[in-house]
Amino acid sequence: MTAPTDFDARYVAVHGRDARFDGQFFTAVRSTGIYCRPSCPARTPKPENCTFFVTAAAAHQAGYRACRRCLPEATPGSPAWNLREDVAARAMRLIADGLVDREGVPGLAGRLGYSSRQLGRILHEELGAGPLALARAQRAQTARQLLVSTTLPVAEVAHAAGFASLRQFNDTIREVFGLTPTDVRARARASEARTGAWSQAAPGALTLRLPVRAPFDGAGLMDWLGRRAVPGVEHIADGAYQRGIRLDHGPAVLTLEPAADHVLMSARLTDLADLSEAIARTRRLLDLDADPQAIDAALATDPLLAPAVAAAPGIRIPGSVDPAEMVARAILGQQVTVAAARTAVARLVANLGEPLPAALATEHLTTLFPTAAAIAEGAHHAVRGPRARRAALATTASALANGDLVLDPSRTVTQATADLEALPGIGPWTSHYVALRVLGAPDILLTDDVAVRAGARALGLPDAARGLVAATASLAPWRSYLMMHLWRAASPTPGDTDAHS
């Protein structure tokens, strides 16, 4: 559901303790100096004492601290940043990915095509805080999660959360939460509010609970990822998905186990400083910041879709942890079955993949997906099939490797698809499939996809491209989620449907 933007509607949501808007706006109370999520169980403040903020960072800058009762930092991120494509939304996605910590504000501004001063003005106007304050709030959120969920020493928590110094960490935690880091941890233990455990068995391993809005079709995500899992790179067993990934400071291994209202993430990292990036990648991979109630309510307005929505509430878009990997999967998945695409991708990995370090490797996880540079150099001999497809793979990977093609949260769907389709061998199906998986674009409908048409027929919708677009126009901007239902309806054995790799 779209978050209210005017004062009266927001106050109604707070008075009704409406959890649907948790993470989408925050209520600051002048008489207490704290800010809360809309569903805070405390007594509703008087209207004259309330100020509403779009971000926690804006509340911090205004001098408010986080409520110790409702823990507004422990909510999923706002779905607006995935739905919107303006500068502020794209900046928020990059900040969540830890870009400011790695490249500073000039790096963030450069990715978005603005000067640092211009970007700061835009973010202050739209979000109530500048990029440094927004990044600081992100670090505070990560730090709190580590303090209450792990037994990491405080100095290591500061490093893992991205703080430049222990002093900066201590000052931020006191300012945001009104407690010292030690007190934050002690209160959590005293109230039995710990949300995970640090794995003592493997140095560098952390286990955290990542919040998610219910309903959450985690089982559907595990099925999707499992049917496409590449041996050595990914493994799924007992409802948990594992894989190796590259992060800024080195390789990592993630284990993701979905539950009704959270995903349990276990991460073994080369460097704890990569934790924020690992969390951001996981949230994108599993679409954890989506607003399922709004999406399901919109799709269910179509009587032909309502039964499918009821059968699979909280369906999500499976994302990606690496743009180069998803481009390769998309190109190798053109006009073939899922099984055939998986075989082709597995061959690419066997020929060009990089071994996981021995400290991270397991029986089932041995290999990192090839880099864009490796694919560009070796695609012609590592991949079978039509010469044009191999050339498209090599050319696109080369463009990614040398920076001519950028596919990250700084790009809009229009920019990304246009850049992809400018390359030889890349058509609309491939470009929009990449946008779906890499950018989490919520309104993609691949009308030429064989399985999409089969699913449309199964649900009683038109299967011709023009008819399907017309019949589903009212479901914008959620047609990516519609497409997930169509793919599911295409066959009782989804792994056998065509053309979605």
Q: What is the CATH number of the domain that holds 116?
A: 1.10.10.60
Quote the pTM value.
0.91
**CATH number, position 230:** 3.30.310.20
Residue 101 covered by a domain: yes
- The answer on 104 and 159 residing in a single domain is yes
> What does the pLDDT look like over 407-433, one tens digit per residue?
999 999 999 999 999 999 999 999 999
User: Which of 97, 287, 449, 498 does the annotation list as catalytic?
Assistant: 449
Predicted pLDDT at 319: 96
Q: Is the pLDDT of residue 178 over 70?
A: yes
Q: Which structure tokens are listed for 91?
A: 């900046």
| In-domain check, residue 229 | yes
Distance set, CA 225 to CA 76, 128, 219, 267, 446 (Å): 22, 38, 10, 18, 19
pLDDT tens across 256-269, in order? 999 999 999 999 99
In a domain, 180, yes or no: yes
> Quick one: pLDDT at residue 5?
85
Judge whether 449 counts as a catalytic residue: yes
- Identify which has the larger pLDDT, 180 or 494: 180
Q: Catalytic residue among 36, 40, 67, 70, which?
A: 36
Asked whether residue 139 falls in the same domain as residue 277, the answer is: no
User: Which residues share a beta bridge with 237?
Assistant: 240
Angle in degrees, CA 59, 60, 63, rounded to 5: 90
Which runs of consecutive H residues, i.e. helices, occur in 46-130?
56-61, 80-83, 87-96, 99-112, 116-127
* Domain identity same for 180 and 115: yes
Confidence band (pLDDT; 50, 70, 90) for 171? Answer: very high
Q: Does residue 33 register a pLDDT over 70?
A: yes
Per-residue pLDDT, 82: 84
Which region among 182-196, 277-291, 336-350, 482-496 has the lowest average model confidence (pLDDT)?
182-196
Structural domains counted in the chain: 4
**Residue 457 confidence (pLDDT) above 70:** yes
If pLDDT is split at 50, 70 and 90, which confidence band does 204 have? low
Judgement on whether residues 431 and 347 belong to the same structural domain of the protein: yes
Whether 271 and 378 map to the same domain: the answer is: no
Same domain, 360 and 472: yes
pLDDT at 194: 42
The tens digit of pLDDT for each residue in 348-393 reads: 999 999 999 999 999 999 999 999 999 999 999 998 888 999 999 9
**Residue type, position 184, single letter:** V
Residue 288, CA distances (Å) to 210, 214, 245, 317, 408 in order:
8, 10, 19, 9, 18
Active site residue 448: no
Which amino acid is located at 330 in the chain? A
Give start and end residues of each alpha helix (H) in 286-382.
292-299, 306-311, 323-332, 338-352, 372-382
Does residue 300 lie in a domain region?
A: no
Length of the chain: 501
Q: Assign residue 408 the CATH number of its domain.
A: 1.10.340.30
120-134, 167-181, 196-210, 454-468: range with lowest mean pLDDT: 196-210
State which of 190, 221, 241 marks the end of a domain.
Answer: 190
Same domain, 365 and 394: yes
Check whether residue 246 and residue 329 sit in a common domain. Answer: no
Q: What spatial distance separates the first Cα and last Cα of the chain, rounded to whole Å?
A: 30
Residue 301 in any domain: the answer is no
Structural domain ending residue among the three candidates 245, 263, 289: 289
Written as six digits, the tokens of 116 are 């640092």
What are the CA-CA distances from residue 168 to residues 143, 164, 250, 468 (Å)? 12, 7, 25, 54
Q: Has residue 297 been placed in a domain? A: no
Is residue 22 a part of any domain in this protein?
A: yes
pLDDT digits (tens, 9 = 90+) for 285-329: 999 999 999 999 999 999 999 999 999 999 999 999 999 999 999
Residue 501: what pLDDT? 53
Asked if 257 and 263 count as a contact pair (C-beta separation under 8 A), the reply is: yes
Residues 100 and 52 in one domain: no
- Residues 330, 468 share a domain: yes
Q: Is 328 in the same domain as 404?
A: yes
The answer to the question of residue 366 being in a domain is yes
Between residues 20 and 168, which one has the greater pLDDT? 168
Note whether 84 and 58 are same-domain residues.
Answer: no
The CATH number that applies at residue 36 is 3.40.10.10
Full residue range of the structural domain in which residue 371 is found: 323-496
Residue 81 pLDDT class (50, 70, 90 cuts): confident
Band of pLDDT at residue 151, cut at 50, 70 and 90: confident
pLDDT tens-digit profile of 269-279?
Answer: 999 999 999 99
Q: Where a domain ends, among 132, 162, 190?
A: 190
What pLDDT is recorded for position 131?
96
Contacting residues for 117 by C-beta, under 8 A, at least 6 apart: none
